[in-house]
Chain A
Amino acid sequence: MNETFSKLVKELQAIVGERNATDDRAICTSYSRDQHWHFVPAKNPACVVRPGTKEEVRSVLMLANTHKIPVIPYSTGINVRGLTIPVHDGSILLDLSRMNRILEINPEMKTATVEPGVTFGMLLEQTRKHKLRPAFPDAPLTVSVLANYYLRGIYQTSATDGHDHTISYEMILPNGETLKTGSRALSEMPYFRYGVGPDFAGMFGAHPGTCGVVTELTAKLYRLYDNRKEYFIGFDDVGTPTEFIYNLMHDELAASIRLVDNQSWLEGIFGTFDYAYEKLPKFVVCVLVEGVDGIFDAKDTLVRKYMNESGGQVLELPAEFARTFEDECLGGAEKSCMVFGLPGKGNYHCIGLYGPLTLAAKYYEVHEKTALEVGIPKDHIHFYIDPIYSFHGQLCYFELDVFYDGSDAGFGEKLRNYNEKQFHRLLDLGIYGWFRPYAGIIEPTAERIGYLAEVWKKFLHVLDPNEIMNRGKLF
C-alpha cells in the first residue's frame, strides 16, 4: 500500500475510530468475492470502513470525493450479484452493518424506518408485536431491508404485497449534501412517497450504490392474519397452470402464489431434502390464502373452485410443509437457500426478470433451449414464477435458474455463455425489466433504450461528478 493511501486510512480511522477502518489485507480479502464469482472475479477493496452514524458516512464520502476514490456501499453483505465487489483498484468498501437501528415502527401508519444494517429478521421480530410484517424477498432473512428495497422495491414471495414497498428515504451524496425523497423532504412525516416534484424515490432507486449512500429508509408494512390455508397443485408443464394463476390474480384471492419446479425451490419452500420430490408432478403451484374471517372464507371457497377446475393434481403433502411454506413466504426465508445445497449442485445462478404471465411458457422454452445449447444438463435447469398484485399487465416475476457445482470452472464457462446468449434472447422475446443490474446486463439493455441511457448517465453525473460511487457497476 502506498504512502498516500496509508495516510488516507489514518484519516478514515480519525472519522470512524481506529477499530472501524483498516487496510489489512486479510480483512479486505473477506470482502473480495460473493456467490457471483464466475461472473465478477474476486477483487479486494483497498480498505474497509465501518461507519456507525450518518455523520460518519458523510465525512467518509466527502473525503473520498476530495481524493476521487471509489466507494462501494455494503449493507449486511449477503450479495449474490457481484454488486459490492470492487471494479477498480484503491476502492473503499463502506460496510454499513454497524448502522443497524430500527428508527421507528409506526403501527398506525403501517411503516418502518430502518438503517442499512437492519435485516429482515431483525425487523420482523419487532413488527410482529404489532401483527405487522415487511414484504420479504426470496433471500435469506439475514439480508438488509434497506438495501433490498432501495435496490429494487419489488418483491414476490407474497403476491398480495404488490410492488414498491419503499416510501421515502434519505441519501447522502458524495459532496456531503443530504437528499430526502417524498414527504420526508417537507416535514418530519416520511410516510408518503410523492411529496413534491417527480418521484425521486423511484429516480434514485434501483442504482446499486451509484448515486450516494442511503442512510435511512421508510418502508411499508403489511398485516399478519391469523386465518391461513395452503394448497399445492401439480402440473406437468408451465402453460397449463397459467389460467388457474390468472383466475387467482384477477379475483385477488391469494396472498402468495408460486409456481416452482419440483426439483429446486420446492425443497426450500418445504424446508427439507428428505422427500421424494421426483414423484411429484414436474411443476407445483403453491397457494396461500389469508384474510379476516368472512373474507377469508369467501376467498378460500373461490380458490378451491378454481383449483378443482385447473386441470392440475391437488397434492396431499405432509402438514409441516404447509407451515414451512407460510414461514418462507410471509415470515422471511430461512430455508429457501436450501436450494444452494442441492446435492451435486451446490451453487445457484439465475436470471430474474419481470414480464407478463402470457409469456410464461415462452420464457421457460427459451431458458431450456439456451441452457441445453451451451451444454448445461437438463436436470440442472430450473424455473419459477411469482405473480404480483396489482395484476395490471399480468405482472409476474420469473426466475430462470441453474443449480450447479461452483467448484467446476467448466460449468462457470457454460453459464457465462448462457448469460451472453440469454440476455439478448430475452430482450428479443420481450420483458418488462430485469430484477437487478447483473454483471453483463447493462450493455445489451442500454443499447436498446435509446436516449434514456444518455439521460441516465447524465443524471448520475449530476449526483456524482467525480464518479466515486460504486464505479463500474452500471456504465
Chain B
Amino acid sequence: MEQEREEEILSAIHHCVKCKLCSIANFHPNAEWLPLCPSGQYYGYQAFYAPGKMEIFRAILEGEITEPSEGLLNSVYACTVCGACYEKCKQITNVELGAPELFEEMRHELASKGWSLDVHKSIAEKIKETKNAYGERYEYKVKEGATDKNADVLYYIGCTARYRVPEIADAMLGIFDKLGLKYQVMDEEWCCGSVLFRTGQVEAAEKLIEHNVEEIRKSGAKTVVFTCPGCMKTFEKDYPDMGVELVHSTQFLTRLGNMNLKKEDLKAAYHDPCHLGRDLGIYEEPRAVLNEVADIKAMKREKEQAWCCGSGGGVKSAFDDFALWSATERLKEAKEAGAEALVSACPFCKRNLKEAAENEELEVYDVVELVNRCLEG
C-alpha cells in the first residue's frame, strides 16, 4: 500500500472513538434498541464490530499482526460489508472514510499477502475457468427469438440469477415479453467481478471488466438493466464510464408508468438490499413498484438502517450458518410487521432469505417476480 494512502487510512482509524453507536439503529425518538451489525451481534467479540476491525487493520498496517490467524480471517471476512455501521456513524461524526471502504481495503491488503479464505480463492478460480462465480458449465438459456440485437435495452442477468435463483431472471424476461419491450442480453455474459472486489481479490476482476465493457460497447445498447444490485454497484463504482445508462429493474419499471398491474391481496415487507440502498441510494423505486402489487408492511429497520440479509461480502460462501442466522433475524422482523411475504430486489438476498425461510410460513420473493405475476399476460 502506498504510504500516503496508508496514512489516510490510519488517520481515519484514529478518529474512530469506539462509541459503538454504529452497532444500533437510531434509538430516538422511539427508544427502541435495534442492533444493526450482524457480525458483531452473532460473534460477540469486539473484533467483529467496526471499531474492533479498525483496530485490527491498524495493527496490520503498523506491523503488529504478521500472521493470518483463524481469528483474523474470521473477523475480517465474516462481515457482509453491509455498510450499516457507516450509515449510522456518518450521522454523528465527520469520519472521512466509510467503514465498508476501509474493510474492503483491509481485505485487499490481506489478499495481497495471500491471506484470503480458501473458499474465496476457489471462487476466483471458478470465475477464471467458467466466467461465473458458481463454476457452472451450462448456459442460462433465454427463449429463442425473444431478444433483439438492435434493442436499446440490455439486461445484464448476473451469476446468481442465472445459476441459483433463475426465477428472477425468468420473471424479468417475462416482464419484457408481456410488456412487448425490446431487449437484448449479452452473447457471452461474464461475472461482473463483484465477489472479487468484496473479498479483496481486486486484480482478478480486471479481465472480467475488460470483457464486459467490450461486449456492452459492441451491443450498442443505451441502457443496461440489472436485477442484481451487486452487479450494478460494481458497474457503477469499478467499471470505466461506458457512456450507457445503468438502471436497476425497479427504476426501469417505475419509469414505465402504468403497467396495468393487478394488485394482489398480499401483505409484504420490503427488505432493502445493502448494495441497492446504502451503496446506490435507491430506496423509493422498489417501494413504489411493490406498492402496485401488494400492501407494504413497514419493518422497524429500513432504508439506511436496514438489517442486512447476511449473504453479501463473501459471507454466504464462507460462513453459511452466520448468513442464515442473519436472514432468520430479518424474517422475524418481517413477521412482527405483520407481513405474509418478504420481498427484496436482489437475487443474493432472495436466495439467502428463501433458504432461511424453508420451514417458515413466510414467502420470499424478488419484486420482479410479483410484478411478472401481476402483469396481464
Q: Which residues from chain A sit less than 8 Å from chain B, CB to CB?
A: 20, 22, 24-27, 29-35, 48, 50, 76-80, 95, 97-98, 119, 121-122, 124-125, 128, 140-142, 273, 323-324, 327, 331-332, 334-335, 337-338, 340-343, 346-348, 405-407
Q: Is B29 an interface residue (CB 8 A)?
A: yes
Q: Determine if B21 and A334 form an interchain contact, defined as CB atoms under 8 angstroms apart.
A: yes
Considering the complex, give the chain A residue whose CB is closest to the CB of B90: A341
Chain B positions within 8 Å of A128 at CB level: 31
Q: Is B23 an interface residue (CB 8 A)?
A: yes
Chain B positions within 8 Å of A22 at CB level: 45, 71
Q: Is B10 an interface residue (CB 8 A)?
A: yes
Chain A positions within 8 Å of B24 at CB level: 121, 142
Q: Determine if A331 and B93 form an interchain contact, defined as CB atoms under 8 angstroms apart.
A: no
Q: Determine if A406 and B31 form an interchain contact, defined as CB atoms under 8 angstroms apart.
A: no
Q: Determine if B31 and A340 form an interchain contact, defined as CB atoms under 8 angstroms apart.
A: no
Given A334-B26, A335-B92, also A29-B33 (CB < 8 A): no
Q: Determine if A26 and B47 form an interchain contact, defined as CB atoms under 8 angstroms apart.
A: yes
Nearest CB in chain A: distance from B138 CB, A: 40
Q: Determine if B27 and A121 form an interchain contact, defined as CB atoms under 8 angstroms apart.
A: yes
Among B19, B28, B46, B70, the residue within 8 A (CB) of A327 is B28
Considering the complex, give the chain A residue whose CB is closest to the CB of B55: A30
Q: Which residues from chain B sit less than 8 Å from chain A, CB to CB?
A: 10-11, 14-15, 17-21, 23-24, 26-29, 31-33, 44-47, 51-53, 55-56, 58-59, 64-65, 67, 69-72, 75-76, 92-95
Q: With A and B bound together, what is the CA distance between A25 and B75 in angstroms?
A: 11
Q: Determine if B59 and A76 form an interchain contact, defined as CB atoms under 8 angstroms apart.
A: no
Given A78-B18, A98-B44, A128-B31, also A29-B65 (CB < 8 A): yes
Chain A positions within 8 Å of B64 at CB level: 29
Q: Determine if A50 and B11 form an interchain contact, defined as CB atoms under 8 angstroms apart.
A: no
Q: Determine if A331 and B67 form an interchain contact, defined as CB atoms under 8 angstroms apart.
A: no
Chain B positions within 8 Å of A327 at CB level: 28-29
Chain B positions within 8 Å of A35 at CB level: 17-18
Q: Determine if B18 and A273 form an interchain contact, defined as CB atoms under 8 angstroms apart.
A: no
Among A24, A30, A337, the residue within 8 A (CB) of B52 is A30
The 17 listed contacts between A and B (C-beta, < 8 Å) are: A24-B70, A25-B69, A25-B71, A26-B71, A30-B53, A79-B18, A95-B46, A121-B33, A125-B32, A142-B20, A327-B29, A331-B31, A334-B21, A337-B19, A337-B21, A340-B92, A346-B15
Chain A positions within 8 Å of B19 at CB level: 78, 140, 142, 337, 340
Q: Which of B26, B44, B45 has the most chain A CB within a 10 Å cutoff? A: B45
- 11 extra interface residue pairs, beta carbon distance < 8 Å, beyond A26-B71, A76-B20, A77-B46: A25-B67, A26-B65, A32-B55, A78-B19, A125-B32, A142-B24, A332-B27, A341-B15, A341-B93, A407-B10, A407-B14
Nearest CB in chain B: distance from A184 CB, A: 27
Q: With A and B bound together, what is the CA distance between A1 and B95 in angstroms?
A: 36
Q: Determine if A24 and B94 form an interchain contact, defined as CB atoms under 8 angstroms apart.
A: no
Chain A positions within 8 Å of B52 at CB level: 30-31
Considering the complex, give the chain B residue whose CB is closest to the CB of A124: B31
Considering the complex, give the chain A residue whose CB is closest to the CB of B11: A407
Among A77, A97, A335, A341, the residue within 8 A (CB) of B18 is A77
Q: With A and B bound together, what is the CA distance between A112 and B190 in angstroms?
A: 59
Q: Determine if B59 and A29 form an interchain contact, defined as CB atoms under 8 angstroms apart.
A: yes
Q: With A and B bound together, what is the CA distance between A33 and B71 in angstroms?
A: 18
Q: With A and B bound together, what is the CA distance between A26 and B93 in angstroms?
A: 26
Among B29, B32, B51, B56, the residue within 8 A (CB) of A26 is B56
Q: With A and B bound together, what is the CA distance between A30 and B15 in angstroms?
A: 15
Q: With A and B bound together, what is the CA distance between A347 and B17 in angstroms?
A: 7
Chain A positions within 8 Å of B14 at CB level: 346-347, 406-407
Chain A positions within 8 Å of B72 at CB level: 24-26
Q: With A and B bound together, what is the CA distance between A141 and B88 in angstroms?
A: 14
Q: Determine if B45 and A33 form an interchain contact, defined as CB atoms under 8 angstroms apart.
A: no
Given A142-B19, A142-B24, also A346-B94 (CB < 8 A): yes
Among A27, A338, A348, the residue within 8 A (CB) of B45 is A27
Among A30, A122, A124, A142, the residue within 8 A (CB) of B23 is A142
Chain B positions within 8 Å of A334 at CB level: 21, 26-28, 92
Q: With A and B bound together, what is the CA distance between A27 and B45 in angstroms?
A: 7
Chain A positions within 8 Å of B44 at CB level: 20, 50, 95, 97-98
Considering the complex, give the chain B residue whose CB is closest to the CB of A342: B94
Q: With A and B bound together, what is the CA distance between A80 and B51 in angstroms?
A: 13
Chain A positions within 8 Å of B95 at CB level: 341, 346
Nearest CB in chain A: distance from B53 CB, A: 7
Q: Determine if B94 and A78 form an interchain contact, defined as CB atoms under 8 angstroms apart.
A: no
Q: Determine if B65 and A25 form an interchain contact, defined as CB atoms under 8 angstroms apart.
A: yes
Q: Determine if B45 and A30 form an interchain contact, defined as CB atoms under 8 angstroms apart.
A: yes
Chain B positions within 8 Å of A34 at CB level: 18
Among A31, A141, A323, the residue within 8 A (CB) of B29 is A323
Q: Determine if B28 and A331 form an interchain contact, defined as CB atoms under 8 angstroms apart.
A: yes
Q: Determine if A32 and B59 form an interchain contact, defined as CB atoms under 8 angstroms apart.
A: yes
Nearest CB in chain B: distance from A80 CB, A: 7
Chain B positions within 8 Å of A76 at CB level: 20
Chain B positions within 8 Å of A343 at CB level: 94
Considering the complex, give the chain B residue whose CB is closest to the CB of A97: B44
Q: With A and B bound together, what is the CA distance between A125 and B25 in angstroms?
A: 13
Q: With A and B bound together, what is the CA distance between A95 and B44 in angstroms?
A: 10
Q: Determine if B47 and A338 form an interchain contact, defined as CB atoms under 8 angstroms apart.
A: no
Chain B positions within 8 Å of A338 at CB level: 92-93
Chain B positions within 8 Å of A26 at CB level: 47, 56, 59, 65, 69, 71-72, 75-76
Chain B positions within 8 Å of A33 at CB level: 55, 58
Q: With A and B bound together, what is the CA distance between A79 and B19 in angstroms?
A: 8
Q: Which of B11, B15, B70 has the most chain A CB within a 10 Å cutoff? A: B15
Q: With A and B bound together, what is the CA distance between A140 and B70 in angstroms?
A: 32
Given A29-B55, A406-B14, also A77-B75 (CB < 8 A): no
Nearest CB in chain A: distance from B43 CB, A: 9
Chain A positions within 8 Å of B23 at CB level: 142
Q: Which of A29, A79, A119, A128 has the most chain B CB within a 10 Å cutoff? A: A29
Chain B positions within 8 Å of A31 at CB level: 46, 52
Chain B positions within 8 Å of A332 at CB level: 27-28, 31
Nearest CB in chain A: distance from B257 CB, A: 36
Q: Determine if A30 and B17 form an interchain contact, defined as CB atoms under 8 angstroms apart.
A: no
Chain A positions within 8 Å of B45 at CB level: 22, 27, 30, 48, 50, 95
Nearest CB in chain A: distance from B306 CB, A: 19
Q: With A and B bound together, what is the CA distance between A411 and B179 in angstroms?
A: 65
Nearest CB in chain A: distance from B296 CB, A: 26
Q: Which of A27, A122, A334 has the most chain B CB within a 10 Å cutoff? A: A27
Considering the complex, give the chain B residue whose CB is closest to the CB of A273: B94
Q: With A and B bound together, what is the CA distance between A142 and B64 in angstroms?
A: 29
Chain A positions within 8 Å of B92 at CB level: 334-335, 337-338, 340-341
Considering the complex, give the chain A residue whose CB is closest to the CB of B30: A125
Q: With A and B bound together, what is the CA distance between A405 and B17 in angstroms?
A: 12
Chain B positions within 8 Å of A122 at CB level: 33
Q: Determine if A340 and B46 form an interchain contact, defined as CB atoms under 8 angstroms apart.
A: no
Q: Which of B65, B71, B72, B92 has the most chain A CB within a 10 Å cutoff? A: B92
